[in-house]
A and B are shown apart, each in its own frame.
Chain A
């Protein structure tokens, strides 16, 4: 058996990508809440860009800068009203070199 390997760091993966960040205009926001729903909480693990994190008070926050605009969080959390979801303004957001 091989030695256990350290968990992957998604930040290192995102570093390879090209982004045009629309400063001060996040395209996804999390609504104020006391306790996150299971789906919103799950986003802290399943967001492929690691945009979601839980703060010390237990609420889920988002920093959408590394977002790859896949829409997973929209599918899981928009219906409950926990997040608002838009695409970035034209030309902004992730810009895939290869896709």
Chain B
């Protein structure tokens, strides 16, 4: 292999790496993909929700054999206090369509399937191989990688860095910064197994339909964070994540948060008698638009989580990963077809394609949101959930207090806690960050 030169080396077999390797190989490029896990997926962690549209653009008939869990028909948003949740649920039968829009998946199974498709397209996938260093030529251009296998470096025209949020190669080579504590969330997750009939009864589901619960509030103890419960066929993915900078400040333990979350009275009955079979942890890029690094250079591009491609507000990560992986491969193919060298100037095509796609447009829309969540976390995740919970309890509980008095007490409670200017400021800040 040392004497061979590839068109493309892809580092990593996650969503973005598999998308890049698949599309590049499909277009006839000579592709080598390196994965440090025992099998593709063995190092990968996600909630996980798969967005059909973005995968369909890569593997149109994926529904025929991809390991999918449940298609989602209902989304619940819960604002949690210590003893309650105030929820908004959206459920629609239109999601029971021939080609459903979103699915829950189990990443180790899904990634293995996706990797099989990559091999079918002719890419060489080398597992149990950790890429340790980028190799640069005399002019500083990336020309290959070194691995922890014996033998010399492996060379390629372009290296696609699909190495994930904590990728070492790009940051060690000075191509991008190491993730910052305020721009990444640490999430922990458990897999709770139970019979599928139990899941269907508890979540009011028919057959393969599924439910998502996204929960925020006092469960993150004033830190910027969210909890989630996703229904799989015979298991529930239960997790919670908060910004690393907030963890460092509070010293809360992630597993303590997770245990408190699943003991919450709103969740406990849903999880009762489950058998827990795995506990995982992972960083999630949360910096958004302002954290996106330089995406291309001489002989390299960066895709997926390594490029901070995650829409934290809509909880979309894997689809941005798949899309940037696909666009990178398409850009590389175009440069190759034009017989141009793989310089930064020519690979800038990839950045233009990302800018023109929903990926950058969505990130740009929420460019101020990460900062707001970071600076206002105790208000947004502690104060307001408590205020809302008290207001809802007063609204619902019948105790002979005249309704007008109850309303006045609710308003007083909000004003006493946040003041009129504070409330107004919070509303304006949130509206502006949302726009």
Contacts and interface: CB of A to CB of B under 8 A. Distances in A.
B252 A45 contact: yes
The A interface, classified by DSSP as helix, strand, loop or mixed, is: loop
Given A5-B263, A72-B244, A90-B36, A99 B107 contact: yes
A85 B149 CA distance: 19
Contacts of A17: 278-280
Contacts, number: 143
B184 interface: yes
A75 B129 CA distance: 23
Contact of B149 (A71, A78, A87, A90): A90
A45 B186 contact: no
Interface in A2-43: 5, 7-8, 10, 13-14, 16-17, 20, 38-39, 42
Interface string B233-262: 001000000001001100111111011000
A91 interface: yes
Contacts of B278: 16-17, 96-98
29 contacts: A5-B263, A8-B255, A8-B258, A8-B259, A10-B253, A13-B279, A16-B276, A20-B38, A38-B248, A39-B248, A45-B252, A46-B186, A46-B251, A46-B254, A70-B282, A72-B186, A75-B244, A90-B127, A93-B43, A95-B43, A96-B43, A96-B107, A97-B278, A98-B107, A98-B277, A99-B42, A99-B48, A99-B106, A99-B111
B255 to A, nearest CB: 5
User: Which among B127, B247, B255 has the highest number of chain A CB atoms within 10 Å?
Assistant: B255
A46 B283 contact: no
A78 B178 contact: yes
User: Which among B42, B111, B247, B279 has the highest number of chain A CB atoms within 10 Å?
Assistant: B279
B310 interface: no
The B interface, classified by DSSP as helix, strand, loop or mixed, is: mixed
Interface residues of B, number: 55
Nearest to B107: A99
Nearest to A42: B248
Interface of B: 36-38, 41-46, 48, 106-109, 111, 127-130, 147-149, 165-166, 168, 178-181, 184, 186, 188, 190-191, 235, 244, 247-248, 251-256, 258-259, 263, 276-283
Nearest to A87: B130
Interface size class on chain A is 35 or more
A89 B130 CA distance: 6
Interface string A61-99: 000000011111011101100000111111101111111
Nearest to B35: A90
